[in-house]
Amino acid sequence: MPSPIQVIQDDRHAHGGPFYTNKRGQVPPLVTTDFVVHDEGICSPRFIRSTIYSVPCTPEMLRQTALPFALCISPFARQAPGESALPLSDFGEEGPVRCNRCKAYMCPLMQFIDGGRRFQCVFCKATTEVPPSYFAHLDHLGQRSDKFQRPELCLGSYEIVATKEYCKNSVFPQPPAFLFLLDVSYNSIRNGLVHIFCSHIQSILQELPRAEGEAESNVRVGFITYSSVVHFYNLKASLAQPQMLVVPDVHDMFVPLLDGCLVTVQEASVLIDSLLEQIPAMFAETRET
C-alpha cells in the first residue's frame, strides 16, 4: 500500500507549476498540488475531474473493478493566480450551438465537415447543420478561419450568455433581493440592537452588488419587523410615508401586499430613510417578548 503522504509529495514535485491541457491521456495534478492551468482545448481539472483516468473498455469490466466512475464538477471553482479568467461567448438570440442529438455544446473537439456547413459531434458522432450566422470557411487543415476568435473553438472552459430558453417559463430572472428581518421585541430594544441596525443599515445599502460599470445597484431591498406579530412595510415610491401592514397570525403567514414590499434603494431612498428613523421610536415602549 503506497503512502498517501509520499504520493502527495511526489505529485507536487512532478506536476507543480504550469499544466497544459492539450496533452491527451495525461493525469491532472492532485488537488493538493499547486499548479497553473493553461487551457489549450481541454477543460481545466479545476472545473471537471474524473474519479478514474484509466477507464475499462467495457461496462462489464468496469463493474468487475468495483471502482466508482463519476465526474466531480465544480463550475465556480476558484482559479489560481496566473490563470486566465474564463472568456464569455455570446451567441446572440439563437443561443449556443449544440449537437442536435445529444445536445452537447460546441467545443474544440467538434469536427467541421462539408466545407464548414456541418459539424460532427465528438460524443455521439451525429452531424448537425451549422446556423448561417455561425458559418465560417475552413482552411486547408479543416480548421475554421475564426477558431482563435471564438473561445468555444479553442478553449475547454468558457462561459455562455444564456438566452430565454434556459430560463424558467422563458423569462429572464428578476434581479436578486435582500429582505431584512428585524426583531423589535422588548429584549432587542433594551439591548440596543434595533438602534444599531437602523443607524448602520444605510452604509450597508450603499455597498449592494451592482453590475460592472453601473453607478447604481438594481438589487431590491425590503424590511420586515417582528415580535409577537409580523410587520410588513410598503415602500412604494409614490407614497408620502412608509405604510405598515400587520399580520397577527404567525402560524398562517402570508404577504399582505403585492407591490412595494421590495424596492430599489434609488427609487425609495427617502422612504427607507424615514422608515429607519421611525422604527426605533415606534417600538420604544414595547413590552412584547
Cell numbers standing for residue 266: 434609488
Q: Is the pLDDT of residue 118 over 90?
A: yes
Region 130-158 average pLDDT: 94
pLDDT band at 13 (very low <50, low <70, confident <90, very high): very high
What is the SS3 assignment for 144? strand
Query: Do the strands 118-120 and 127-129 form a parallel or antiparallel pair, or are they unpaired?
Result: antiparallel
pLDDT digits (tens, 9 = 90+) for 232-244: 999 998 899 999 9
What is the pLDDT of the chain when averaged over all its residues? 91
Strand 71-73 relative to strand 48-50, pairing: antiparallel
Instruction: Check: CB of residue 244 under 8 Å from CB of residue 235.
Output: no
Range scoring the smallest mean pLDDT among 94-98, 202-206, 273-277: 202-206
Digit-coded pLDDT (tens) for 27-52 = 999 999 999 999 999 999 999 999 99
| Structural domains of the chain in order of their starting residue, each with its CATH number | 15-73 (no CATH), 88-167 (2.30.30.380), 177-208+219-282 (3.40.50.410)
**Cα gap 111→88, rounded to integer Å:** 22
pTM value surpassing 0.75 = no
How many residues does the structure list for the chain? 289
Q: What's the confidence (pLDDT) of residue 175? A: 79
pLDDT of residue 81: 93
Q: What is the full DSSP assignment across 17-72? A: EEEETTSTTPPPPPTTS-EEEE-SSS--TTTEEES-SS--SSHHHHHHHT----EE
pLDDT over 80 (residue 1):
no
Tell me 130's DSSP state: P
Condensed to tens digits (0 to 9), the pLDDT of residues 259-281 reads 889 999 988 999 999 999 999 99
CA proximity to 237, closest of 206, 265, 201, 209 = 265
Count of CB atoms situated within 10 Å of the CB of 168: 8
Average pLDDT of the segment spanning 129-145: 94
